[in-house]
Structures are given as C-alpha cells and as structure tokens.
Amino acid sequence: MASTFGALCALTALFPAIVTSIPFVPRFVSENQILAAYDYVVIGGGTSGLAVANRLSEDSSKTVLVIESGPMDDGSEDFKIPYLGRGYKNFGTKYDWNVTSVPTASLGNRTIIMPQARVLGGTSSINGMQFAKGAPSDYDAWEELGNEGWNFKSLTKYFEKSENFTAPSKKLVEEFGITYDESAHGSTGFIHSSFPNFLWPQLKNWIGAMKSLGHSVSQDPANGGALQLFWSPSSSNPDTQTRSFSREYYDGARDRPNLHVLLETTVTKLLTSGDERIRVDAVEFSSSVGAPKKHVKVKREAVLAAGSIFSPQILQVSGIGPTSLLKSLGIEVVVDLPGVGANLQGHVYIATFYQMTNVSLSAANLTTNTTFYNEMYELYKAKRDGPFTNGGASNMIAMLPLSDITSDNLHSLLETPSETSYRDTSISKGYQAQLKILLRHLTTPKMAATEMLWFSEGGAILSVMHPLSRGTVTTTSSSLLAGIPAINTGHLSHPLDTKIFIETLRYTRKIIATHEMRELGLVEVLPGAEVNTDEQLEKAIRDGSGYMYHMTGTCSMMKRELGGVVDKDLRVYGVKNLRVVDASVQPLIPAAHVQSTIYAVAEKAADLIKAGSLWRD
Ligand SMILES: Cc1cc2nc3c(=O)[nH]c(=O)nc-3n(C[C@H](O)[C@H](O)[C@H](O)COP(=O)(O)OP(=O)(O)OC[C@H]3O[C@@H](n4cnc5c(N)ncnc54)[C@H](O)[C@@H]3O)c2cc1C
Ligand SMILES: *[C@@H]1O[C@H](CO)[C@@H](O)[C@H](O)[C@H]1NC(C)=O
Ligand SMILES: *[C@@H]1O[C@H](CO)[C@@H](O)[C@H](O)[C@H]1NC(C)=O
Ligand SMILES: *[C@@H]1O[C@H](CO)[C@@H](O)[C@H](O)[C@H]1NC(C)=O
Ligand SMILES: *[C@@H]1O[C@H](CO)[C@@H](O)[C@H](O)[C@H]1NC(C)=O
Ligand SMILES: *[C@@H]1O[C@H](CO)[C@@H](O)[C@H](O)[C@H]1NC(C)=O
Ligand SMILES: *[C@@H]1O[C@H](CO)[C@@H](O)[C@H](O)[C@H]1NC(C)=O
C-alpha cells in the first residue's frame, strides 16, 4: 500500500493533473504513507501554518505536507464554547507545550507560564478570541523599518481575505450602541468574526465613564479606527456561537489530495547543504523522543510556522542563529544570524479588581452561584444565547495614546535603551531603529501606548501595547527534543514600560471615580486603595503582572544589518528556500491582540510563496 501510494504520488509530480484523479487519500497520512518529497513542507500546523498550507494547496499541481507536533483536538466544549475556552481549560494538558520562562529579574525573578497550543490549529484553538487589527501606525511602522510593501493599506486585502464578518444583532446594537463598518471587513474568509449574543450591562457604565472623560468611540477598528474606544469582534461563528479558529483552513482543504498532514510528529532539524547559498534539502522529524529520526525531502520550500518560541529554536538547532550561541552548544554554524531568538516582544498586563456592591447580576455570579451557572449553560445549549457566548475579556477596547494618560514629558525615557542579552551590534542597531520609529509615533495621538479593557467579573485589564523591553529565546541544547528553549521575557526591563503602567493604573482610578462607575458601588480590591506612591504601584506591577501571550519578533522581518532574520519576502537570510510565516516575523508588535494580524501576514506569505520569488535562478 505504502509503495503503491508513493509511486502514484511520484508520478503525479511529473503529471500534476493525475493528482486530482487519485480516488482516495487519507485525511492524515502516517509516517509510512508520506511521499519522499513535497513541493512545500510546512513546519507547524498552527494558526499561521494551516492558513498557508490551505492557500498553497489551492494549486493542485503542488504537493504540500504539514508536520504538526500535536494531535487533532477532541472536539470537546473546552475548545468550542467561548466562556469555557476563556477558562483556558486546555492549559497544562496534552494540548499544551507547557512552556515556562526562566526567572525574570525585572519581575522579581518570577517565572512566567506561557501556554502554547500543541494541536492542529495551534494557539488559535485555545486563545481568548479577541479579533481586531491594530491602528494604521502599527503597520506603517513595519515599512518605516525598511520592509517595503508592509503597511496598513497594503495589508488590508489580506486582513479581508482571512475574515468572514457578521454584523452584531439589532438587539445588541440598540442596547449597547455598537458601531461597525461592514465595508472594511472581509466576508469570504475562513475565520468568522462576529459578536457574542450577550454582553454584561456593566459595560455601559464603563463606556459612559470613558466618554465622560472625553474619549470618543471610533466607528470600527477595521477601517483604521483602532484608537480611543472601539467595538472589537471575536473569532466566533455567529450561527453556532462557537470558536472559529485556524483548523477551519484545514477543514476547507482536507479533501485536496495534494495536501497531507502528519500529526503527532515533531520537526527536529532542517537538513541543509551548500556554501554560498544554503538550501534546505529535507526536514528531519521524529514521532517521539526515543524514536528513530526520519526525513522528508523539500522540492521547493520549507515553511516555518512553529510560532515565536519554537521557530527560532528550530533555526538554532539547525545551525541558523547567533554563532556564539551555536558554538557554545556544539552546533555547526550554517548561517550566522544574530537576530534568531532576539527582539522578543509581548503584551504584559496588570489587572485591577473591584467588589461591585451595587450590582444585582454580573459575570461574578457565574463563579459564585452553581444554579445560575447551570441555567446559563443550559440556555447556551438550547438557544446559543447568554453569557456562555461571551469568551473574551470584553468586546469594547480602549487603546489610548500616551498623551491621554499622562502630561509628563517622557522623551528622555523614550530614548533610554533597553538591556538586551545579545550584545551584537546589528541587534543593537535594529533596536535603536525601532526606538526612533516608536518615539516618532508614541508622541502623537495616532499610536496607542496602553490598552484598557473592562472585564465583567469586575475589573480592568491594563496592558502596555508598544513595550520597549525586549526578551530572548535560546535553545539550551543542540537537540530540539531535549526540551523547551530558555525564554527570557525581559518584561518591564525598560523604565518607560513601568512608567506607562503606573500612569495607566492612576488613570484607571480616574475612570473608577466617575459618576457612571461609582453607580456600581465599586470597592477596590486590587491593587488596593492603599497602594498609591510610584514605588508602591511599581511593586504591585512587578509582583502582579501577567502575560497576554502575544509573543512576536523572534524571527523579525528587518534588514540583516539591523538584526533581521527574514527579508520583506519572509525569506530567511542566507538560505535559498526557507521562509518564516508565523507571529515571530512581526518586527514591532502592533497595539492589538495579534491573531488577526497573524492571519493577514500568513495570507500575504502564501501569495509571496506562490509568486515564487525564490525560483527564478
Ligand atoms: C492563552 C492565550 C490567549 C490568547 N488570546 C488571544 C486573543 O484573545 N486574541 C488574539 O488575537 N490573540 C490571542 N493570543 C495569541 C494568539 O493566539 C497567538 O499569538 C497565535 O495563535 C500564534 O500563532 P502562530 O501561528 O504564530 O503559532 P501557533 O498557533 O502556536 O502554531 C505553532 C504550531 O507549531 C507546532 N509546533 C511547534 N514546534 C513544532 C515542531 N518542532 N514540530 C512540529 N510542530 C511544531 C505547535 O504545536 C503549533 O501547533 C492568545 C494566546 C494564548 C496562549
Ligand atoms: C504538558 O503537561 C501535561 C500534563 O502533565 C502532559 O500531559 C503533556 O504531555 C505535557 N506536554 C508536553 C508537550 O510535554
Ligand atoms: C534574582 O536572582 C538574582 C540571581 O540569583 C539575585 O541576584 C537577585 O537578588 C534576585 N532578585 C530578587 C528580587 O529576588
Ligand atoms: C460567512 O459566514 C456566514 C455566517 O455564518 C455564512 O452564512 C456564510 O456562508 C459564510 N461565508 C463563507 C464564504 O463562508
Ligand atoms: C448575584 O450576585 C449579587 C451580588 O453578590 C447578589 O446580590 C445576587 O443575588 C446574585 N444573583 C444570582 C442570580 O446569583
Ligand atoms: C442562584 O441562582 C438562582 C438561579 O438564577 C437564583 O434563583 C438564586 O437566588 C441564586 N442564589 C443566590 C444566593 O443568589
Ligand atoms: C445603584 O444602582 C442603581 C441602578 O442600578 C442606581 O439607580 C443607584 O443610584 C445606585 N446606587 C448608588 C448608591 O449609586
């Protein structure tokens, strides 16, 4: 069977038309069934990987293999129901890589748990379902960094290509005043974006409070309005009120005979050859730690989509990374690329919390009253309504510029360099270039510095959107299977990040003091009314901040002399046929929850790969 299948597929490489006439192809292939070679081998069947694999396999003359370390999800409610998924039931299960950072000095040596999904669909299978793009300045900054063609305007068609937007119900529009601009959204993409059927009424107090302080509601984040207040959709199917995620890209392509998926198989190395221009000849993989290593040949390109933690690790163990690191681990240097694993950025948050003493019903009741919880669960199952449709912290987002939360002149802090663990000149130059661009934008109302979300249990989630702190991801062994890489988050190592947090916490107290919020009878529990001075607030932040898991930047798209890892076509420097397409290529994190941007970048990546800019020589 295996050899017949192999022979058939070898034939199809010569006569592509035959591909479509193969009568039966299993949805998933086993190690024994895979072809000896594929046009494209996609490493990681996650958020970005499945989007790219779907688009590449649209061309039936090309064979595509996806290698995913995790299994298929079990279809359980923990994946599907927004409210349950928000409880992050899949953390620490077999669907999680169980990533923990090294102790972070700037967080009082705390380690940070960083869930990373290990399942077909990747982290989009377990995330918080917030789905909005950033402001124009967030993407224009990528182009200013030297990445020609990467700006808000040119990315628009890719945001739209990935999305299928459904407008909110009349009932919610009337009750909450939801605004949107349907013309700025896609309607034919694989990822549903829509609104839950239910929002908690306290959100109205929060919106009223923000308005009373002079903030306006932008019409829609999709049309450039991701500043001030705006309504953000969720990645949710409006008909079933269930999670919409990257596996739908696979579902939409699984009948294609030229697309194979190898599950529960971990890529361990890229096998390369050549001197001047390195070529990826094959991808090595293993089904478990002790199992023999096998490999599959790459005819055209290898596509790295293992996410911001594992893509740099795969490059490093394959000899593509900082020479000093590679040598110290006895890894043969294939390409000296100092930026691999550097420039790690993410959104850190601090949550405030209040007791709501003048509220008869809120999300808090779901956690304190089992009868009520069960009633709402039944309502969801029967009518797809009620709070179980609502997964994210909030569908109302505030993205505020620095000047809205503080009148202090922060120029001197903006110019302070961060400590980076790599003392490489290109990385330092790249960081300076980023600072310059951020300085230019963060001093205007066109770039958000801080995000504020009301969450329905009674609190605010506050987050620094353009951190100046940088972290690193470094493999600790020459073997990928030896364990997760060392992650130094670097959080709050830059003084401006801490300053923005302090000012945002103070600003939150202004919001809480408005008439609209006082009506809820709020009593501050966290950080607590007695926490007041800069020093006290800073301590609360360092001890209490959490992570939004928006890791980006570790294989940054930047010029090579700035410490970049991929060029503007997402090709790894020094390698002929290798691209990175996941979150790690975003050189500056946008002021947004990153998944919609990841989908847009993946859609663009697929077009770049199809254009075959590599294969003219
Ligand atoms: C708890 C949580 C909540 C979040 N909430 C939101 C939110 O509300 N909104 C938002 O926009 N973003 C959110 N995010 C972030 C967002 O979901 C992720 O940034 C995004 O899904 C990452 O996409 P990716 O393609 O880069 O990587 P992933 O989706 O993680 O895909 C990587 C894939 O590669 C596989 N892989 C890794 N190494 C190997 C290997 N060696 N061999 C084979 N396969 C491998 C992994 O198993 C995984 O399937 C959240 C993230 C987390 C963790
Ligand atoms: C993460 O931990 C869980 C629970 O201990 C385990 O079942 C799972 O296999 C672990 N994941 C990995 C990738 O080791
Ligand atoms: C963090 O760890 C380092 C090294 O072990 C130590 O020098 C430092 O004092 C620790 N900091 C805190 C706040 O515990
Ligand atoms: C978009 O979503 C709507 C609502 O679920 C659905 O009816 C429609 O078929 C979807 N469109 C596409 C092209 O999938
Ligand atoms: C919800 O919680 C409030 C405040 O504790 C309480 O007064 C109310 O009775 C609760 N309602 C339900 C349905 O649990
Ligand atoms: C719990 O919820 C049920 C159903 O809504 C309600 O009847 C009951 O009064 C609530 N209990 C409390 C203590 O609020
Ligand atoms: C309590 O809330 C109600 C509305 O739900 C409001 O009319 C009343 O003024 C509030 N009480 C206080 C003390 O703010």
String of DSSP letters for 440-502: HHHTSTTS--EEEEEETTTEEEEEESS----BEEE-SSS-GGG-PPEEE--TT-SHHHHHHHH
Task: Clarify whether 466 is annotated catalytic.
Answer: no
| Residue 25 pLDDT greater than 50, yes or no | no
Q: What is the pLDDT of residues 62-109, one digit of tens each?
A: 999 999 999 999 999 999 999 987 767 899 999 999 999 999 988 989
| Residue 423 pLDDT greater than 90, yes or no | no
**Predicted local confidence at residue 87, as pLDDT:** 64
| Residue 14 pLDDT greater than 60, yes or no | no
Percent of the chain with pLDDT over 70: 93
Q: Are 313 and 485 in contact (CB under 8 A)?
A: yes
**Predicted local confidence at residue 393, as pLDDT:** 61
| Residue 516 pLDDT greater than 70, yes or no | yes
**Predicted local confidence at residue 459, as pLDDT:** 96
Q: Which atom of ligand 3 is nearest to the CA of 109?
A: 1
The string of DSSP letters for 385-440 reads -SGGG--SS-SEEEEE-HHHH--S--HHHHTPPPP-S---HHHHHHHHHHHHHHHH
Task: Clarify whether 550 is annotated catalytic.
Answer: yes
Residue 267 known to bind ligand: yes
**Predicted local confidence at residue 418, as pLDDT:** 62
Mean pLDDT of 368-376: 97
302 lines ligand 1 (CB under 6 A): no
- What residues are in contact with ligand 4 under a 6 Å CB criterion? 164, 166, 188, 192, 238-239
- Domain 168-180+191-237+345-547 -> CATH class: alpha beta
Q: Please choose from 365, 366, 372 the residue to mutate so as to test ligand 5's pocket, defined by most ligand atoms within 8 A of CB.
A: 365
Q: What is the pLDDT of residues 350-364, one digit of tens each?
A: 999 999 999 999 999
The domain segmentation of the chain, as residue ranges, is: 168-180+191-237+345-547
Contacts (Cβ under 8 Å, ≥6 apart) of 29: 65, 260, 261, 262
Residue 234 known to bind ligand: no
**Predicted local confidence at residue 189, as pLDDT:** 98
Tokens of 586: 């975003």
Cα angle 395-345-320, degrees, rounded to a multiple of 5: 135
In this predicted structure, which of 5-9, 206-210, 421-425 has the lowest mean pLDDT?
Answer: 5-9
| Residue 379 pLDDT greater than 90, yes or no | yes
Q: 164 C-alpha vs ligand 4 centroid, how far in Å?
A: 6
Q: What is the mean pLDDT of the chain?
A: 92
Q: What is the pLDDT of residues 189-210, one digit of tens each?
A: 999 999 999 999 999 999 999 9
Residue 148: pLDDT band by 50, 70, 90 thresholds? very high
Q: What is the pLDDT of residues 447-497, one digit of tens each?
A: 999 999 999 999 999 999 999 999 999 999 999 999 999 999 999 999 999
360 lines ligand 7 (CB under 6 A): no
Residue 76 known to bind ligand: no
